[in-house]
Structure 1
Amino acid sequence: MRIAQITYSTKPRGGVVHTLALSEALAARGHEVEVWTLGRGDDTAFFRPVDPAVRLRVVPFAAVDGEDVGERIERSIEVMAQAFSSDADVVHAQDCISANAVIAAGRACVRTIHHLDAFTTPRLIECHDRAIHEPIARICVSRAVAAEVAELYGHAATVIANGVAAERFETAAGPRGAAAREAWQARLGCYVLALGGIEPRKGSIDLLEAFAQLRGTRPDLALVFGGGETLFDYRPYREEFERRAAELGVTPVVLGTLADDDVPPLVAGAAALGFVSTKEGFGLAAMEALAAGTPVVARDLPVLREVFGDAVTYAHDVSGIAAGLARVTAGRGAPDAEAGRRLTHSYSWDAAAAAHEEFYRDLLGAKGGGRATDDLVDHR
């Protein structure tokens, strides 16, 4: 099959990581795969090398001073729509922007709905909803998100779980990863890590509040935030985070965007991962932490219960997050690390690619063997 995967950025956000890993796994299974993305600013390539078997299409997207988030998203859709041209049998959009762009280009698409967003402006709500209603078929990475899509939008979605690059994180936790892991520990000390930057969906202020409670009994711990490249403008939330940090007397270490090779040793060197998002589709960062043997304290969400079972420590609120971090960083009551590693190996990118392959074949069969992107007829 000829497959086009579309994503909105070259940066290491969860949906972009998913796009690249899935594309490489599909190419390894013998398919012709191309990945389309927007090269924001001066970006001409993704945040990591991509298997040469995958053909890359990076569409230039220059920065515009003074542009607000809504304007940037609308321009993202317009620029990708104008550039997109593919003879693929299946076009697969991995996010709201990509789906809108493909639809605007007059092509139908499959859409993976990683999680549902909560926009507040009419234009962004319209974009979000169109990217759910108008694709010819939908995939979710967990049953919990698929149930939300069915309840709120009336569409059935096929569930295909993420894969996990478990070996990278296991290696970082083992003898071969010792030097890089210990370099992070020498720089940061004993630390609680959060990945994905400082933003509302990640529950960053809740983690900050919990860490402040923990600091009284664990003054040796540091709070570290890594990653965080996003289209959205979270300055008011970041300002509230910084104001509250000053009030609490906490000085977090904010690493910003990380090189891909730096992430596994950073995760493996952590005393715990604070994974307290208010919304998730699967929880890839937490799964990678388990592969490294790093204990995870997670917000108690149905989707995380579904994916992780008893492999992580759950918390409902700030006090619970603090209590969970206190236990696992002291080596008390953390779930079995080996069981967590086994769980990560039950999710492979080859298995995810095989499930997508079957999904695409069924879709092409339903279209009479032709391209699944010839028109915008809804496939439910």
Structure 2
Amino acid sequence: MRVALLTYSSRPRGGVVHTLALAEALAARGHRVDVWSLARGGDGGFFRPVHPSVGIRLVPFPDVPDEGVGPRILRSISTLGAAFEGDYDVVHAQDCISANAVPDCVRTIHHLDQFTTPELAACHERAIIRPRAHICVSAAVAEEVRAGWGIEATVIPNGIDGSRFAAAESDTAGRERWAARLGRYVLAVGGIEPRKGSEDLINAMALVQRRDPGLRLVVAGGETLFDYRDYRARVLGRAADLGVVPELLGPVPHEDLPSLVAQASAFAFPSVKEGFGMAPMEALAAGVPVVMRNLPVLREVFAGSVAFIGSEWELAAELLHATSAPDVHRIEVGRKVAARHTWRAAAVAHERFYAALPKRGLGVR
């Protein structure tokens, strides 16, 4: 099949990670796959190397000083839409921007959001109702789509590159570099933003550090389209008041991420909204204990392999337990859960989904 996978950014974010990994897995099975994306801020490529079997179609998208979120969303849609072309059997959008840019598409809904910016709210709505067919990465998200829009979506779980993170356990040099720089730490991935439950994590770490002052909080990632400066300032102000000094790494180089994860004493994932949870799945593959919010979607994906929490007090207690007396049985269950979620399995499921689509030149221009 000739497949176009569309994403909105060249930088590390869950949907972009998904797009590149799925593209490589489909190409490995003999399909002709192109990835289309906006190249933000002068980026000359994606945040990591992509296998040469995958075609890369980057559309320049320069920064505009002082551009608001709404205008940036509209410019993103129009720029990608104007550039897209090609004779594809399947066009598959991975986010609301690319689904608006090429509306005659398949759409993967990774999670649902509620936006207050009018342009973004409209983008989100159109990207649900306009596509020809829908995929969700978990049954919980599929049920939200069914309840909210009456749309039946096919569930295809995410994969992860589990072997890369499992191998990091034995990367002594890489882990020692992080240990020398950071000491002992709890790791969170995704930056400081409302959806990631960052304020709860700061409050919990203040409680943790009363018992274990040497245990630090490290936050990686945070690449986003949205302006969270006010929220970030409030959270960091709260951290200063509580005496918590988080280490904010920003986006971590692709080759360094597995050892950073593997060296963590625990992985914290107090998100209030998720669709699957690739980052904690990678932590499970690396043998790291994971503590996460008790959400239906996360229970679906991670049951038996992590500690679930409902409050910042429980988060603190479970982080202390995970870092002082990790549950060996739970960690082993986590390794098995992670090993089941492969990109090859995801690619096979996508092949079946694509094959069942009406042969109408889906998404072709």
Scaled by the length of structure 2, the TM-score of the pair is 0.98
Structure 1 match to 2:7: 7
Matched, 1:319 2:313: yes
User: What CA distance in whole angstroms lies between the structure 1 residues aligned with 2:361 and 2:351?
Assistant: 14
User: What CA distance in whole angstroms lies between the structure 2 residues aligned with 1:208 and 1:130?
Assistant: 36
Q: How does 1:16-55 map to 2 (within 5 A)?
A: 16-55=16-55
| CA offsets 1:290-320 (integer angstroms, 9 cap, x no match) | 0000000000000010001110001001111
**Contact 2:2 2:33 (C-alpha < 8 Å) held by counterparts:** yes
User: What CA distance in whole angstroms lies between the structure 2 residues aligned with 1:137 and 1:60?
Assistant: 28
Measured after TM superposition, the shift of residue 124 of structure 1 is: 1.6
| CA offsets 1:171-229 (integer angstroms, 9 cap, x no match) | 1012xx11001110111000000001110001111101000011110001000000111
User: What CA distance in whole angstroms lies between the structure 2 residues aligned with 1:143 and 1:83?
Assistant: 34
Letter in 1 for 2:219: F
Structure 2 match to 1:296: 290
Q: How does 1:1-380 map to 2 (within 5 A)?
A: 1-103=1-103, 108-174=104-170, 177-333=171-327, 336-363=330-357, 367=358, 369-374=359-364
User: What CA distance in whole angstroms lies between the structure 2 residues aligned with 1:102 and 1:373?
Assistant: 7
User: What CA distance in whole angstroms lies between the structure 2 residues aligned with 1:90 and 1:267?
Assistant: 35
User: What CA distance in whole angstroms lies between the structure 2 residues aligned with 1:99 and 1:370?
Assistant: 18
Quote the sequence identity (%). 58
Letter in 2 for 1:7: T
**Contact 1:327 1:334 (C-alpha < 8 Å) held by counterparts:** no
**Contact 1:313 1:334 (C-alpha < 8 Å) held by counterparts:** no
User: What CA distance in whole angstroms lies between the structure 2 residues aligned with 1:28 and 1:332?
Assistant: 38
Give structure 2 stretches of 5+ with no counterpart. none
Give structure 1 stretches of 5+ with no counterpart. 376-380
Q: Give secondary structure in 2 for the equivalent of 1:280.
A: coil
Q: Give secondary structure in 2 for the equivalent of 1:76.
A: helix
User: What CA distance in whole angstroms lies between the structure 1 residues aligned with 2:149 and 2:123?
Assistant: 14
Measured after TM superposition, the shift of residue 70 of structure 1 is: 1.0
Equivalenced residues, count: 365
| CA offsets 1:256-302 (integer angstroms, 9 cap, x no match) | 11100111000000000001111111110000000000000000000
Q: Give secondary structure in 1 for the equivalent of 2:135.
A: strand
**Contact 1:273 1:294 (C-alpha < 8 Å) held by counterparts:** yes
User: What CA distance in whole angstroms lies between the structure 2 residues aligned with 1:86 and 1:70?
Assistant: 28
User: What CA distance in whole angstroms lies between the structure 2 residues aligned with 1:7 and 1:57?
Assistant: 11
Measured after TM superposition, the shift of residue 97 of structure 1 is: 0.3
**Contact 1:310 1:335 (C-alpha < 8 Å) held by counterparts:** no
User: What CA distance in whole angstroms lies between the structure 2 residues aligned with 1:150 and 1:251?
Assistant: 42
Q: Where has structure 1 moved over 3 Å in runs of 4 or more?
A: 332-335
Measured after TM superposition, the shift of residue 111 of structure 1 is: 0.2
| CA offsets 1:75-94 (integer angstroms, 9 cap, x no match) | 10010011111211100000
User: What CA distance in whole angstroms lies between the structure 2 residues aligned with 1:370 and 1:124?
Assistant: 30
User: What CA distance in whole angstroms lies between the structure 1 residues aligned with 2:153 and 2:145?
Assistant: 7
User: What CA distance in whole angstroms lies between the structure 1 residues aligned with 2:328 and 2:335?
Assistant: 14
User: What CA distance in whole angstroms lies between the structure 1 residues aligned with 2:316 and 2:169?
Assistant: 25
- Seen in structure 2, the aligned counterparts of structure 1 residues 238 and 334 have a Cα distance that, compared at 3 Å, is farther
Letter in 1 for 2:323: T
User: What CA distance in whole angstroms lies between the structure 2 residues aligned with 1:324 and 1:341?
Assistant: 19
**Contact 1:40 1:60 (C-alpha < 8 Å) held by counterparts:** yes
Aligned residues: CA RMSD: 1.0
Q: Give secondary structure in 2 for the equivalent of 1:43.
A: coil
User: What CA distance in whole angstroms lies between the structure 2 residues aligned with 1:266 and 1:138?
Assistant: 35
Letter in 2 for 1:294: V
